[in-house]
Amino acid sequence: MYREKLLQTLRRQVKPAVGCTEPIAVALATANARKFVRGKPERILVVVSPNIYKNGFSVTIPGTDKTGNAYAAALAFAGGNPDLGLEVLKNCSKEDYERAEELLPFVEVRFDRDKTGVYVSATVETATDAAEAVIANRHDEVVRITHNGEIVFASARCAESGASGNSGDDFDVTCLSLAELRREIGEIPPEELRFLLEGVTMNMAMAEEGLRLGAGLGIGRSFRELLQEGVIEDSLLCKVRMVAAAATDARMGGVPLPVMSSAGSGNHGITAVVPLKVLADARGLGEEVLVRGLAFSHLVTLYIKNFTGRLSPVCGCAVAAGTGAAAGMTWMLGGDDDAIAAAINMMLGNLAGLLCDGAKHDCALKIATSAGEALLAALLAEKGVAMSGKNGIVVSSAEESIRHLGRISTTGMKDTDEVILQIITGA
């Protein structure tokens, strides 16, 4: 019944991205505004939501050793291609990197406390022109472009701020129960889900680069060294953590390769994909099992994001993508709806309070934790372990537990991002 809608949702929410998607959203807005101006910039003003500001503050821009939203905007003006969406900085050259350095003095980045979720406004001014591009709701959703005060583009749903994981034309997966969602995926012919394997190829390639280069903090490569030294045990659980960390090391460390994102985040994509591939290889599970698990992992991730918000004070890699991965792996291991609900509840009971204090190198540690705990939850669910009754925010219904998590994220922690911003900006 929902086959086409779910496939469309997967294609819209699972996309390649080069670089952390918050500064990439800044780059994409700037590149779209850049199309409408002539000459050298006299000013590039970027106004973002606190969430975008936080996540773009410390992360490395791909292909460089530079960090932050301002450099992303400068590089986008120098050589960004808005037609590439979340891969807007994919083809930047050495000359573009050098020019971006020269443009930095013209860039100003502010955050607007009245904006929530995904919001970026980039205004580019030259001697002859001024253009503004606004991105909202999703990291690649341009909702408005103006040129010299005239609107040249406006989306049909020109909402300019929203914490929801869905854009107005997306299918709301939360209209289904998790059991219904699993059954719908189970009825989709596996060949129609094979496109999800592209994300496996991308994200595992990024992990290989992380292991090879020791990029970022080098967490993944250090895991491997500890294994080789016999300090930690060589196990499936350790391998999941090592590979997921390595992919994140490379991505947060600026390796200019794409990863397949999930619900607008490349780190979510790593968490939602890599553990499932490692498990499938270790257990000899076939392609059909893997692609169905991937579809479920991505959609449960999106399901949770619709309650917590696309950007939030809690670490989405843990509570959304990690939980999605746990659900997907539980199903891959033959778990039924009760086992899947048990795995989801274990993840929420375990990691619900993990903070998001911005995208940066140590995300590799959080993703290693999330990936490992996702596998552990699936394995425990396979053994029949399940929370019963009421355990804090976790109740017997996984859907209700997710709603409680959403309340914690959007209401209970409403001042958390403000405090984090004060800390990272030295205010």
Joined together, the tokens standing for residue 175 give 């209209």
Predicted confidence at residue 165, as pLDDT, reads 44
d(CA 175, CA 166): 12
CATH architecture for the domain at 173-425 = Orthogonal Bundle (1.10)
Predicted confidence at residue 158, as pLDDT, reads 56
Q: Does 20-154 match 173-425 in CATH topology?
A: no
Predicted confidence at residue 389, as pLDDT, reads 73
Query: Alpha carbon of 349 to those of 42, 323, 404: distances in Å?
Result: 51, 11, 11
Each residue's pLDDT expressed in tens, for the chain with a length of 427 residues: 899 999 999 999 999 999 999 999 999 999 999 999 999 999 999 999 999 999 999 999 999 999 999 999 999 999 999 999 999 999 999 999 999 999 999 999 999 999 999 999 999 999 999 999 999 999 999 999 999 999 999 987 655 544 444 445 579 999 999 999 999 999 999 999 999 999 999 999 999 999 999 999 999 999 999 999 999 999 999 999 999 999 999 999 999 999 999 999 999 999 999 999 999 999 999 999 999 999 999 999 999 999 999 899 999 999 999 999 999 999 999 999 999 999 999 999 999 989 999 999 999 999 999 999 999 999 999 999 998 778 899 999 999 999 999 999 999 998 999 999 999 998 7
pTM above 0.85, yes or no: yes
What CATH fold (topology level) applies to the domain 20-154? Answer: 60s Ribosomal Protein L30; Chain: A; (3.30.1330)
Predicted confidence at residue 159, as pLDDT, reads 54
User: Are the C-beta atoms of 347 and 386 separated by less than 8 Å?
Assistant: no
Domain boundaries, the chain: 20-154, 173-425
